[in-house]
Amino acid sequence: MIVELIGKEAGLTFECMHIVPGRGDCSRIHPHFHYVDVLVDGEFDEKRRIVHLYNLKAVIMRICSAFEDKILIADYPESVQKITIEDMHYKIEINNKLYLIPKSDIFKIKSPSLNIEDLTVYFGNELALDLQNKEMFNSLKYFEVTLSEGHGQRGKLRMDLK
Ligand SMILES: [Zn+2]
């Protein structure tokens, strides 16, 4: 049995900013409004549920909240992005520009890029950790996460939980 959460309707959203290597509009610091759809497949429990949606939403919201209103930084090679961590700031050299951003405004994710593909993999891995480690999600066989970055663009990933 499949159950789905539609991010736009369920409030599974977050807004964050990023700078990606390159030229043109995306080379400037700019925002994205993201929303997350999650599909789970599992077995019925004795209460005729495969998952308690309140709990599933809580897990997804926790992941979303880490991104909220932050500036995202990924592990781009030093040839395209040079980061120096100072006392209170990140000094970021990218696209021949220098940004000095307070640490509190940055969310540095372990990811080779901020492309929608890598962002979806990051989100999927975070979600898999939670779903695998909590007994309440034991009946689930796999999930699919769809991460939208607006402009009709999204990444989709299926991950097995067994
Ligand atoms: Zn962008």
If you average pLDDT over residues 69-75, what whole number do you get? 97
Residue 100 is predicted with a pLDDT of 97
CA of 29 to the centre of ligand 1 (A): 8
Residue 25 is predicted with a pLDDT of 81
Confidence tier at 26 by pLDDT (50, 70, 90): confident
For 28-65, the pLDDT digits (tens) are: 999 999 999 999 999 999 999 999 999 999 999 999 99
Q: Do the domain assignments include residue 125?
A: yes
What are residue 130's phi and psi, to 5 degrees?
-70, -45
Q: Do the domain assignments include residue 46?
A: yes
Q: Do the domain assignments include residue 116?
A: yes
How many domains is the chain built from?
A: 1
| Joined tokens for residue 113 | 């890029």
CA of 114 to the centre of ligand 1 (A): 8
Residue 93 is predicted with a pLDDT of 97
Q: Do the domain assignments include residue 101?
A: no
CA of 84 to the centre of ligand 1 (A): 22
For 102-152, the pLDDT digits (tens) are: 999 999 999 999 999 999 999 999 999 999 988 899 999 999 999 999 999
Checking if the pLDDT of 94 tops 90, the result is yes
CA–CA distance from 121 to each of 17, 26, 98, 141 (Å)? Answer: 18, 21, 28, 18
CA of 116 to the centre of ligand 1 (A): 9
CA of 28 to the centre of ligand 1 (A): 9
SS (H, E, C) 14-29: EEEEECCCCCCHHHCC
Confidence tier at 18 by pLDDT (50, 70, 90): very high
CA of 25 to the centre of ligand 1 (A): 9
Q: Do the domain assignments include residue 83?
A: no
pTM: 0.94
Q: Do the domain assignments include residue 33?
A: yes
Q: Do the domain assignments include residue 62?
A: yes
The enclosing domain of 121 has a CATH number of 3.30.479.10
Domain around 124: 2-70+111-160
Q: Do the domain assignments include residue 78?
A: no
CA of 10 to the centre of ligand 1 (A): 24
